[in-house]
Amino acid sequence: MKVLKFGGTSVGSAQRMQEVTKLITDGEKKIVVLSAMSGTTNALVEISDYLYKKNPEGANEVINRLEAAYRRHVDELYTTDEYKQKGVEIIKSHFDYIRSFTKDIFTLFEEKVVLAQGELISTAMVNNYLCECGIQSTLLPALEYMRTDKNAEPDPVYIKEKLENQLALYPDTEIFITQGFICRNAYGEIDNLQRGGSDYTASLIGAAICAEEIQIWTDIDGMHDNDPRIVDKTSPVRHLHFEEAAELAYFGAKILHPTCIQPAKYNNIPVRLLNTMDPSAPGTIISNETEKGKIKAVAAKDNITAIKIKSSHMLLAHGFLRKVFEIFESYQTSIDMICTSEVGVSVSIDNTKHLNEILNDLKKYGTVTVDKEMCIVCVVGDLEWDNIRFEAKAIDAMQDIPVRMISYGGSNYNISLLIKECDKKAALQSLSNMLFNNK
């Protein structure tokens, strides 16, 4: 069995829902995870904001506007009076429920219930459309099996047991439709998965049922070896190792959040990224398989600040690095890159919220210098240390660009270089020419 996830834009209109139906009705047994229709969650957040501010009139205005939009979707989606009426009833029941929150105290608990309505509506609408098309499908309520523990982390044992029980009730069903993002917490309250959202749901379901494959359908054509808006002659990346995907995700690549694919990684289930706008394209597959001796992509992250701490006290001193790192930890600031010498250490950060406080504390231990408006460029691929020439090629490509820091060896899948933001485009183009276009 496969697990297919479709995001908000993929089910963002009646036409898109009809196109998704064509994609999932291929005769294979599957679980389909759906997000809320695009724009819905933002509207529900706006409704919640009005209710927090004790402004039911403002909330009702947004509710009425959103309900009217859904009524239009119903008219466009269904062709028979019977299923149009069912669609109207679905919409009315959910929006009447949302309106009920305008008459009482509104807290975080009620907000999460309101936010859950988007996924509940989209899945009910698609399931109703499948029924109209004569396709055997079953609505699988995520709130019956998806749960987090007291640490707000998914409870895989509970999920597996409850999901298997749900599936066993419908042995002849071809297509199961379920909600992404939403769940119950350890106390039985409606909640959400936060990180990764619907992608996380798909990965957890895939792990629970030992799926053959998890497919993530978006309106993006997989992953490219570089940003096509900046670099000429980019090409799609057809295969990534999970670790390579995690490296690229940090750099803002339109790819899965690392935490949301961990269940798939640990259970050795491949994840395929596919494009709803071009279903015939092969997309990008992410798995535990490494393509030996191959560079996959180059990515960059802006708004980086570099900090150098230089001190003669560091020479042969025990505990110096610990003291430095404790300062960053005390201000909940993550370090991206680190390079050390006998008398100094350089680090980079992307969160400057507490920069002044950090600098003041660091000055207790040495001379501190700061470089702002920096950029990390990352080369991703099979970069095992015994793969000769890859690191040399990357450095060679930067021969005309000043490099502030280089990080190599912390991972088998990347080389990171810290440069000025103004040099980013030239660096990416040079790396692309050297690594991909000069074969």
Q: Using one digit for the tens of pLDDT, what is the confidence trace for 190-234?
A: 999 876 688 999 999 999 999 999 999 987 654 554 555 456 666
Q: How far is CA 218 from CA 7, 204, 205, 229, 258, in A?
A: 6, 18, 18, 19, 17
pLDDT at 391 over 80: no
Query: Lowest mean pLDDT: which of 42-56, 255-269, 344-358?
Result: 255-269
- Smallest CA-to-CA distance from 146 within 211, 217, 207 is with 207
Q: How confident is the model over 91-98, as a mean pLDDT?
A: 97
pLDDT at 243 over 90: no
Our measurement of the distance from residue 197's CA atom to the centroid of its chain's CA atoms, rounded to an integer in Å, reads: 7
Tokens of 59: 């909330």
What distance in Å separates the CA atoms of residue 148 and residue 137, rounded to the nearest whole number? 27
pLDDT at 62 over 70: yes
Residue 272 — φ and ψ, nearest 5°? -110, 125
Q: Which residues have CB under 8 Å from 86's CB, separation 6+?
A: 78, 128
What distance in Å separates the CA atoms of residue 291 and residue 274, rounded to the nearest whole number? 20
pLDDT score at 395: 85
Beta strands in 362-427 (DSSP E): 367-381, 405-408, 414-420
Does the pTM exceed 0.75? yes
Q: Cβ atoms within 10 A of the Cβ of 410, count?
A: 11
Torsion 398-404-408-414 (CA) sign: negative
What distance in Å separates the CA atoms of residue 269 and residue 195, rounded to the nearest whole number? 20
Average pLDDT, the chain: 89
Under 8 Å between Cβ of 189 and 112? yes
pLDDT score at 231: 61
Start-to-end Cα distance in the chain: 40
pLDDT score at 385: 73
pLDDT at 144 over 70: yes
Under 8 Å between Cβ of 274 and 281? yes
pLDDT score at 232: 61
What distance in Å separates the CA atoms of residue 17 and residue 157, rounded to the nearest whole number? 33
Q: How confident is the model over 298-305, as a mean pLDDT?
A: 90
pLDDT at 262 over 70: yes
Q: Cβ atoms within 10 A of the Cβ of 422, count?
A: 10
Q: Which residues have CB under 8 Å from 390's CB, separation 6+?
A: 295, 379, 381, 382, 383, 415
- Smallest CA-to-CA distance from 146 within 198, 111, 97, 110 is with 198
Q: How confident is the model over 27-46, as a mean pLDDT?
A: 94
pLDDT bracket for residue 413 (50, 70, 90): confident
**Buried-exposed string 369-390: b where 16+ CB fall within 10 A, e elsewhere:** eebeebbbbbbbbbbeeeeeeb
pLDDT score at 229: 47
Under 8 Å between Cβ of 298 and 226? yes
DSSP for 188-217 reads S-EEE--TTHHHHHHHHHHHHHT-SEEEEE
Q: How confident is the model over 15-28, as a mean pLDDT?
A: 93
pLDDT at 235 over 50: yes
Q: How confident is the model over 31-49, as a mean pLDDT?
A: 95
